[in-house]
């Protein structure tokens, strides 16, 4: 048996210390209290007819209710589908239909957004002394989560993550961060993102996990100083902001900071290191690998040779990495030669839910996963990421797929053609923009208003460029790279 929530049982038996703190509500929880709350939510889900293998969607704001609901779904052997609160009704409806979800956990504000049975967790802090619910008997390969991640076709795909995948991810994250009971971890990642696994790892280690419901730089720095944070979560925009100020007094207890969710530019990394002398845990992984469940990372011990400030490091425990030809994965590329990054290890997802075609394209029979990212390995087997085979845009850790956005916006009546692509942004890594061909008169404001009505706000193009025609090969294949060159800033 392996049910990932049983670490709560172990910690509740041997420790009596607070391990979770929500500064917004000022609520604190120890491992036993979390286990009791998770048990009671699990019981309520079972009373609603949820059984092992059923899919349950979570549509909440970042909160302890989100985390406890996720654990409760895992506890009873059901399959969690974390979604982001910025998703629109149409985005949720697709996921509900594709997954066959039986129930959605949400709040009063969103209870009518889609046609599905709802459960609204209320007053969960009152469940701190409820009877513990025995964990469902689940195995290594039993699914615990569908992590929806879009593809270049514009159709979101549900990466099938298992209890064993999460076991590996938590082990590796505890290992990479050398988490201990006296550590204080400040988490900023959205609950719907696999980056939440860093916080779960802190709970596993019985460190003190401070969860921010919403990122605010002033509050972030205040918490760092007040709570004597030792392990700090970050991402490229946050690290960039820290290089524009002197926050050394706030960060004086921090021994490491995580970066992930997008490329960290060399200059920003170097500036941060020279200002703060705090090692950046520059990690590489994907939703399909639960961050660095299977992936690579730069660790503090790498810093004596990391003066180039470019690499995402070596494979973590149990992981393998290789570079293959972009068109023939059976061909392994030599050192320093670019190709597609392939990963193999026990945290690789089982495939994509209900999508055999896409599963066969990315998940090879010998266990290797084709990431769609392009990079190379140096003589010491350090990984460097140089490009993306796919056209995915990563803005502040948010993944944006051009085709998905285009399929929505092309319905705007004034448009003849549209292409979504990225341009570099020093603060956010890159941002989505649109090249458009208008039917007649330009209508930038109308298009942006339409986008805001029909897309999550982070997918809305930040700029619009008008063209007479889009660059294409032989009149059909769109050249996004050429657009990026045309409008490079």
- CA of residue 276 relative to chain centroid, distance: 26
One domain for residues 475 and 375: no
Domain's final residue, options 360, 384, 408: 384
Residue 285 lies in a domain: yes
One domain for residues 356 and 237: yes
pLDDT at position 152 is 44
Residue 332 lies in a domain: yes
CATH for 41: 3.40.50.12780
One domain for residues 190 and 257: yes
- Residue 232 parent element (H or E): strand 231-233
Spell out a b/e string for 405-415, using b for 16 or more CB atoms within 10 Å of the CB, else e.
Answer: bbebbeebeeb
Query: CA-to-CA distance for 416 and 258, rounded, in angstroms?
Result: 43
Q: Which of 243, 246, 249 is nearest to 266 (CA)?
A: 243
One domain for residues 373 and 465: no
One domain for residues 378 and 415: no
The 3-class SS string of 38-51 reads HHHHHHHHHHCCCC
User: CB-based contacts of 182: which residues, under 8 Å, 6+ apart?
Assistant: 207, 230
Query: CA-to-CA distance for 338 and 375, rounded, in angstroms?
Result: 5
Neighbours of 442 (CB within 10 A): 13
- Residue 478 parent element (H or E): strand 477-478
One domain for residues 371 and 438: no
One domain for residues 359 and 419: no
Q: Which of 318, 281, 279, 286 is nearest to 297 (CA)?
A: 281
Q: Which domain holds residue 408?
A: 393-486
One domain for residues 224 and 352: yes
One domain for residues 262 and 145: yes
One domain for residues 453 and 320: no
The SS3 assignment for 110 reads helix
pLDDT tens for the 489 residues of the chain, in order = 899 999 999 999 998 899 999 999 999 999 999 999 999 999 999 999 999 999 999 999 999 999 999 999 999 999 999 999 989 999 999 999 999 999 999 999 999 999 999 999 999 999 999 999 999 999 999 999 999 986 444 578 999 999 999 999 999 999 999 999 999 999 999 999 999 999 999 999 999 999 999 999 999 999 999 999 999 999 888 998 999 999 999 999 999 999 987 778 888 899 999 999 999 999 999 999 999 999 999 988 888 766 678 899 999 999 999 999 988 999 999 999 989 999 999 999 999 999 999 999 999 999 999 999 989 999 999 999 877 777 778 888 887 878 789 889 998 999 988 999 999 888 888 999 999 999 899 999 999 999 999 999 999 999 999 999 998 765 556 778 789 889 886
Residue 250 lies in a domain: yes
Q: Which two tokens stand for residue 211?
A: 């969860």
CATH for 461: 3.30.300.30
Domain's final residue, options 384, 415, 446: 384
Query: CA-to-CA distance for 341 and 335, rounded, in angstroms?
Result: 12
One domain for residues 339 and 451: no
Domain's final residue, options 331, 352, 384: 384
One domain for residues 298 and 446: no
Query: CA-to-CA distance for 222 and 16, rounded, in angstroms?
Result: 26
Q: Which two tokens stand for residue 81?
A: 């589908």
Chain position carrying tokens 């159709």: 155
Q: Are 384 and 312 in contact (CB under 8 A)?
A: yes
The SS3 assignment for 108 reads helix
Q: Are 87 and 456 in contact (CB under 8 A)?
A: yes
The SS3 assignment for 286 reads strand
- Tally the domains of the chain: 2
Residue 1 lies in a domain: no
């Amino acid at each position: 048996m392996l049910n990932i929530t049983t670490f709560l049982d172990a910690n509740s038996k041997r420790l009596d210390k607070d391990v979770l703190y929500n500064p917004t509500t000022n609520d604190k929880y120890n491992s036993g209290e979390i286990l009791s709350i998770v048990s009671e939510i699990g019981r309520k889900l079972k009373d609603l007819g949820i059984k092992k293998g059923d899919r349950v969607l979570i549509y909440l704001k970042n909160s302890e209710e989100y985390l406890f609901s996720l654990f409760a779904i895992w506890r009873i052997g059901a399959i969690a589908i974390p979604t982001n609160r910025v998703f629109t009704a149409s985005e949720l409806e697709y996921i509900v239909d594709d997954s066959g979800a039986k129930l959605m956990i949400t709040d009063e504000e969103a209870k009518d957004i889609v046609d599905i049975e709802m459960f609204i967790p209320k007053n969960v802090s009152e469940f701190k002394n409820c009877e513990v619910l025995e964990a469902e008997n689940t195995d290594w390969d039993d699914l615990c989560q569908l992590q929806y991640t879009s593809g270049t076709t514009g159709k979101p795909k549900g990466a099938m993550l298992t209890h064993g995948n999460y076991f590996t991810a938590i082990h590796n994250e505890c290992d990479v961060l050398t988490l201990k009971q006296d550590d204080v971890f400040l988490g900023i990642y959205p609950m719907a993102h696999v980056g939440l696994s860093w916080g779960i790892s802190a709970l596993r280690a019985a460190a003190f996990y401070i969860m921010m419901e919403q990122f605010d730089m002033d509050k972030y720095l205040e918490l760092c100083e007040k709570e004597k944070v030792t392990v700090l979560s970050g991402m490229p925009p946050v690290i960039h902001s820290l290089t524009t100020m002197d926050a050394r007094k706030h960060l004086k207890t921090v021994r490491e900071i995580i970066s992930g969710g997008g490329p960290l530019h060399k200059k920003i990394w170097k500036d941060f290191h020279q200002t703060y002398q705090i090692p950046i845990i520059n990690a590489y992984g994907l939703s399909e690998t639960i961050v660095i469940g299977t992936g690579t990372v730069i660790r503090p011990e790498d810093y004596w040779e990391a003066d180039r400030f470019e690499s995402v490091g070596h494979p973590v425990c149990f992981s393998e990495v290789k570079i293959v030809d972009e068109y023939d994965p059976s061909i392994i590329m030599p050192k320093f030669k670019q190709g597609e990054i392939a990963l193999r290890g026990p945290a690789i997802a089982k495939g994509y839910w209900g999508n055999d075609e896409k599963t066969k394209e990315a998940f090879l029979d010998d266990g290797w996963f084709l990431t769609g990212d392009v990079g190379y390995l140096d003589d010491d087997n350090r990984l460097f990421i140089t490009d993306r085979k796919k056209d995915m845009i990563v803005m502040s850790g948010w993944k944006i797929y051009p085709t998905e956005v285009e399929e929505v916006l092309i319905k705007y009546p004034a448009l003849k053609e549209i292409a979504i692509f990225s341009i570099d942004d020093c603060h956010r890594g890159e941002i989505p923009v649109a090249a458009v061909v208008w039917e007649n008169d330009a209508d930038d404001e109308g298009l942006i208003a339409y986008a805001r009505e029909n897309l999550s706000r982070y997918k809305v193009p930040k700029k619009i460029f008008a063209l007479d025609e889009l660059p294409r090969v032989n009149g059909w294949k769109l050249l996004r790279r050429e657009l990026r060159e045309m409008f490079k800033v």
